[in-house]
Amino acid sequence: MSVIMLLLALSMPQEPRQEKPRVPKDSIELTVIGCLKGRVLKTLDQRQTDIERGPYVGERTFRVAGKKDVMKAVTEHDGHLVEVVGIVRRADLDDKGVKVGGVTISGGPPVAGRRPDPAGNVAVMDVESVRLRASSCTGGH
C-alpha cells in the first residue's frame, strides 16, 4: 500500500517553487504597512508587530520600484493602505549620516530661500509584493 501512495505522490504535478530574491548583504528585507500615493509609500508611525518584519522604520517615506506585475499592483492600490514586502539598502535606513575618517557628516536644516529636493533623500524600496489592507488611508491611518 505504501508503494502505491509513493507512486501517486510522485505522479502528482508539482507546483513550481517561486524563488525569493536573494537579499544582498548591504540590504534588508522589510514588511511594512503604509499609504501609497503614486510610487511613494509613507509608512505608519505605529508598528504592527504581528505583521511587520525587519527593523522598525517609524514614519518614513520610500520610493517604490519593482517588476512590472508588482508596479501594476502599486498603481491599482494608489491612495490605499497597504502591506508591502520589499528590500531596502541598510545605508538608506541609517539616519546617522556618513562617516568619513573620524568625522560624521549629516544633513542640516534647509538653507533659507532654497527648497530641498524631495526625491534627493528618499530611500528606494525594491518591492516584492503589495497587499491591500484598507481602501483608504484616512480615518486614523
Q: Which residues of the chain have pLDDT under 50?
A: 6-8, 14-17, 110-119, 140-141
Cα of 52 vs its chain's centroid, Å: 10
Whole-angstrom distance between the N-terminal and C-terminal Cα of the chain? 57
Is there a contact between 88 and 27 (Cβ–Cβ < 8 Å)? yes
pLDDT score of 83? 92
CB atoms within 10 A of CB 85: 18
Kindly report, residue by residue over 96-118, the tens digit of the pLDDT. Answer: 555 555 555 555 554 444 444 44
Whole-structure pTM over 0.75, yes or no? no
Structural domain spans, the chain: 22-94+118-141
The C-alpha atoms of residue 141 and residue 36 are separated, in whole angstroms, by 12
The C-alpha atoms of residue 27 and residue 119 are separated, in whole angstroms, by 20
Pick the CATH number of 22-94+118-141 from 2.40.50.140, 2.30.60.10, 3.40.50.300, 1.10.150.20: 2.40.50.140
pLDDT score of 37? 93
